[in-house]
Structure 1
Amino acid sequence: MRIGFDAKRAFNNYSGLGNYSRYIISNICRFYPENECFLYTPKIVDAELFNEPAGTIIGKPGGFWKKSGSLWRTFRLTQQLNKDAIDLYHGLSNELPYGIQKSRAKSVITIHDLIFMEHPELYKSINRNIYEKKVRSGTRVASRVIAASEQTKQDIIRFLNVDESRIRVVYQGCHRQFYSRVSEETMQNTHQRFALPSEYLLYVGTIEERKNLLKIVQALHHGNFDFPLVVVGRKTAYFNQVKQFIERTGLSNVYFLDQVQASDLPAIYQGSSGFIYPSSYEGFGIPVLEALNSGVPVITSRGGCLEETAGKGGLLIDPTDQEEMIHAIRQVLETSALRDRLIREGGAHALKFREEQTIPSLYNVYLECMHD
């Protein structure tokens, strides 16, 4: 089978969608080497970001289209799929190229979340309209729709009116680097490079409103915790609200780490006393899975997909209830029996998301499409 992948984010995105794309492409090629895999991207900005699997073929625009890579990806790629005799094309990030339903290729689209429809107030109207047009078009013409969680599946049905018979839930996984303990030397070097405290609570994720970092620092302040919080994530305008609160209240033990590489994360997770991720809405919540695999107790939000991801390895809270958050932080930091249970049950739950489970599930969806 000739499989084409939307590889734009695999080659050019350092966070969630990029991680997912690299995970899927690498593992499909590793588990099913009998296939020919084509990776389509309008450009490659950082050649070191993704070491594509051996034998894959990279497709990029040529001629006039070199200057209009985004237009090539949307409006010209279907023609390239026909030229390359692609049997199945997987849109890894909420969209498919225009006209793909008229090509010879079957198509699969992954929908990670519909945050822009659930919380439209968080997006500029022009961006929201573009996102909605892409997901409506893609889910309408795709042979199968992959949902990143049961929560996302229900959102697809609710917002996009997609027939449930065409939707398959295939969970995401995280990088294999989180499966093993780092060496003591690596742990010490990481602590020294980032000047980490000896003990800390950890948050990893984009610093944006729906992920509720401000609520975390407010809980630490009002709960009178004398315990450091380490924050890893890209800053948005919301960061200023967090910074202003810290400065106004005199909190002195919140550490914002810069220039953190993906390879640094296992040691940062494993060095923490607990991981907190009280997001109001997610499509899956990869940082929660990374924490579970790192042997760290997790505090996260009740309901939605984060409850799916954390399983019994998460202490679940209402992110808008400050007292509940304070109580959960205190429990994780002070109750060793609870910590041990969360770590044990979280580690067992995380096995559900290993590639030995997720990749065959995804490949079965590919085969379904080919047998339609």
Structure 2
Amino acid sequence: MLTIGFDAKRYFLNRSGLGNYSRDLVRMLASNFPDQKYILYSPKLSEFSSVVPKGVEVRVPSSKMDRLIPNLWRSKTIANDLRKDDVNIFHGLAGELPQGLVKKNIKSIVTIHDLIYLRYPELYKPIDRFIYNQKSKYAVENADCIIAISEQTKKDIIRYYQVPEDRIQVIYQGCHPAFKQSFTSAEVKEFKKKLNLPEQYLLNVGTIEPRKNAFQIIKAIKDIDIPLVIVGRPTPYVDGIKEYLLKHKMEDRVIFLSGMSMTELALIYAGASIFVYPSKFEGFGIPIIEALFAGVPVISNKFGVFPEAGGPASSYIDPENIEELRDTIQKVLGSEELREKMITEGKAFVQRFDDEVIAEQLMECYSAL
């Protein structure tokens, strides 16, 4: 039996993104390989304590000093707790690893999600870029195995950190079981009524920020009679969007939502006509997977990782070409036959991201150490 420890800060303290990745990974492992021992290490806990799978143990800093300086604990002194718990492998789920694992005879794995701060440095504050780079650089140089969440991320790790290809394994992300549920038309209709959603709508999911590029969708549908639902945490980027909506009298055609539960979000997907995701760059693009599992046609970026996530049945555009995006939206909306083909083939493609497949790959990675 292996004892596997996880850096679980994001598990407990992030509602989306790295938090979802951490919770899904632990859930998949605990469900498919319950004979192994799993321990979550976090500086503090949260409401996500209620979703910790049965049998998975949780640790917080045990000494007064570690509780006072949790960052020091996560980066260094946690190694003492890992040794006390007889941890064989420590998995850094969010691009970083603590020091001192080799001295404690503990193998290590790190998941690298993306290197956007190196690709698009203008999107980050200098201090944030420096910290992210220092953590990732240390992790990839010292990990026994590096997991990249996509082929795109693997290429970036090789490019920016000159890591040998054979040290990197691509293991994709899964997604929450809620998106694999089958909802009846009555359930979807009732939910739309509850949230006052229109009968038909385009959908975009993700933090509302420049990189995610939701503004492009709004410009593309200016002359198309279809509303847009955007689900995500707002940033100052929203101000420019709302100014545009006012100027073009589109305020009643765009609905902003946030704070949805997974089941509520799955119902929003299920009610959508098309999922539109013109993000400029992602490490993977988990909302695409959610949409495919939910049975929604996808339109996304033709460059980078997006075709890797969306598969051959999705439609792809240049995210900076508003005319191409508009024409593609109209094409998919105008053909029920095309929509059904995208849905059916998308569901078949997305099975490669199913829980059992990913859990098996993860356990092979752990066992190889």
TM tier, shorter chain?
A: over 0.9
Aligned length in residues: 366
Q: Quote the residue 2:295 is aligned against.
A: 295
Q: Quote the residue 2:323 is aligned against.
A: 323
> Does residue 233 in structure 1 map to residue 232 in structure 2?
yes
Q: Distance in 1 between matches of 2:236 and 2:133?
A: 24
Q: Distance in 2 between matches of 1:85 and 1:241?
A: 53
- CA drift of 1:99 comes to 2.3
Secondary structure class of the residue paired with 2:312: helix
Secondary structure class of the residue paired with 1:323: helix
Residues 86, 104 of structure 1: 8 Å contact kept: no
Residues 28, 356 of structure 2: 8 Å contact kept: no
- CA drift of 1:268 comes to 0.4
Secondary structure class of the residue paired with 1:332: helix
Amino acid in structure 2 at the alignment position of 1:274 = I
For residues 119-169 of structure 1, what are the alpha-carbon distances to aligned partners after superposition, in whole Å with 9 as ceiling and x for unaligned? 000000001100000000000000000000000000000011111111000
- CA drift of 1:335 comes to 1.4
Secondary structure class of the residue paired with 1:101: coil
Please provide the CA RMSD for this pair. 1.3
Secondary structure class of the residue paired with 1:89: strand
Q: Distance in 2 between matches of 1:151 and 1:6?
A: 24
Q: Distance in 2 between matches of 1:17 and 1:190?
A: 28
Q: Quote the residue 1:120 is aligned against.
A: 121
User: For structure 1, which runs of at least 5 residues remain unmatched after alignment?
Assistant: none
Residues 178, 262 of structure 2: 8 Å contact kept: no
Secondary structure class of the residue paired with 1:102: coil
Indicate the larger mover: 86-95 or 188-197. Answer: 188-197
- CA drift of 1:81 comes to 1.0
Q: Distance in 2 between matches of 1:242 and 1:76?
A: 46
Q: How does 1:125-274 map to 2 (within 5 A)?
A: 125-221=126-222, 224-251=223-250, 252-274=252-274
Amino acid in structure 2 at the alignment position of 1:46 = E
Q: Quote the residue 2:104 is aligned against.
A: 103
For residues 80-131 of structure 1, what are the alpha-carbon distances to aligned partners after superposition, in whole Å with 9 as ceiling and x for unaligned? 1112111001101111112223221110000011111110000000011000
Amino acid in structure 1 at the alignment position of 2:234 = K
> Does residue 53 in structure 1 map to residue 59 in structure 2?
no
Amino acid in structure 2 at the alignment position of 1:77 = I
Residues 11, 48 of structure 2: 8 Å contact kept: no
Q: 1:258 to 1:24 in 2, by over 3 A?
A: closer
Q: Distance in 2 between matches of 1:145 and 1:268?
A: 35
For residues 243-274 of structure 1, what are the alpha-carbon distances to aligned partners after superposition, in whole Å with 9 as ceiling and x for unaligned? 11111211130011133222201110010100
- CA drift of 1:185 comes to 4.8
Q: Distance in 2 between matches of 1:265 and 1:77?
A: 36
Indicate the larger mover: 131-140 or 90-99. Answer: 90-99
- CA drift of 1:213 comes to 0.6
User: For structure 2, which runs of at least 5 residues remain unmatched after alignment?
Assistant: none
Q: Distance in 1 between matches of 2:311 and 2:258?
A: 31
Q: How does 1:266-285 map to 2 (within 5 A)?
A: 266-285=266-285
